[in-house]
Amino acid sequence: MNKLIRCVNCDEVFLKTPFDRNPEYDPPLPGKPESFRVTQRDDFEDFLKIHRDHHLEPLTILKDSYISEGLYGDPLRTSYFKATNGKEVFLIKRFREDIHQPMRYQLIYGDYELRLLRLEAQSEAILKQWRFEFKKNPSLLAQGEVFLGILQKVITTLQVNQLERFDEESPSSLEIFYRLDEIGLAYLLRNCRNRFKREDYSEIEGFILRHKDDGVLLLKATYQIQIHEKVKTKKEALPTVLSLEKEKALQKKKP
């Protein structure tokens, strides 16, 4: 079971996992199989040695506080989450600079917020779907860019905090999809009705209604993580506290 440990004296954190004792393997040199080496390790024991006689405390990770930069599948992506000792809430940064290095954790006094960079239409996907559905309608086939321009104008009038979020996950936690609200939908339909011929409008209305909830007409919002650090208050004198491991041992001895 994973456990997040904080050294109160140093404000350093360590994530204890079942893999802390996994050995390191150094591949053999070319033509020298005997040079293959296995190095035993215990990362948590090393952490305890560095912070011997310091005050260690467990932190509880707050549910749904996780956010990351980049794609979920990127092994070098930087992530943030919140954790608490029951009195304070801390921001934890999870990162590494090389794929061969273990993840590192940095405690930050502060919080993060997501700043909206842009709210936009899925232009390429819309035009692709438009060409597919209207390939047998020459008068509409050439009007895809016109429709896209109308939609983009509608988007400039929307407030993202008033839109319904689409539940399915995107490849990145900084890309979120939203549905058009009722006002935006009505505005889009009215502008299309005024712009296109009556016989074409009925086809466009069907296109909009088919794809507004879970298709190419979902709006894509792109966010940026902003970290707000706060000034760390001066530490009060720490009482003499047993290490986390010694506290556990004493708890086991209690009846």
- pLDDT (tens digit, 9 = 90+) per residue, 87-103? 999 999 999 998 878 88
Say whether both 26 and 88 belong to one domain.
yes
**Total of domains in the chain:** 2
Say whether both 101 and 163 belong to one domain.
no
What 3-state class would DSSP assign to 151?
helix
> How many whole angstroms separate alpha carbon 123 and alpha carbon 127?
6
Say whether both 134 and 212 belong to one domain.
yes
Alpha carbon 138 to chain centroid distance? 43
- pLDDT (tens digit, 9 = 90+) per residue, 191-226? 999 999 998 999 999 999 999 998 899 999 999 999
Say whether both 208 and 243 belong to one domain.
no
Say whether both 34 and 122 belong to one domain.
no
254 pLDDT exceeds 90?
no
Say whether both 153 and 68 belong to one domain.
no
> How many whole angstroms separate alpha carbon 101 and alpha carbon 111?
26
Structural domain boundaries enclosing 238: 3-109+230-253
- pLDDT (tens digit, 9 = 90+) per residue, 127-158? 999 999 999 999 899 999 999 999 999 999 99
Say whether both 125 and 209 belong to one domain.
yes
Whether residue 8 contacts residue 54, with contact meaning beta carbons closer than 8 Å, is answered with: yes
Reference 93, options 77, 81, 83; nearest CA is 81
Say whether both 103 and 188 belong to one domain.
no
Whether residue 50 contacts residue 78, with contact meaning beta carbons closer than 8 Å, is answered with: no
Say whether both 103 and 123 belong to one domain.
no
Say whether both 239 and 219 belong to one domain.
no
* Burial class of residue 109 in the structure, from the number of CB atoms within 10 Å of its CB (0-12 exposed, 13-18 middle, 19+ buried): middle
- pLDDT (tens digit, 9 = 90+) per residue, 179-189? 999 999 999 99
What Å distances lie between residue 83 and 70, 136, 138, 208, CA to CA?
22, 57, 58, 43
Say whether both 13 and 65 belong to one domain.
yes
- pLDDT (tens digit, 9 = 90+) per residue, 34-82? 666 766 777 889 899 999 999 999 999 999 999 999 888 899 999 999 9
What pLDDT is stored for residue 237 in this prediction? 43
Considering the entire predicted model, what is its pTM?
Answer: 0.75
Location of structure tokens 């390191």: 24
Say whether both 212 and 120 belong to one domain.
yes
Q: Which residues of 209-243 are buried (b: 16+ CB within 10 A; e: fewer)?
A: eebbeeebbbbbbebebeeeeeeeeeeeeeeeeeb
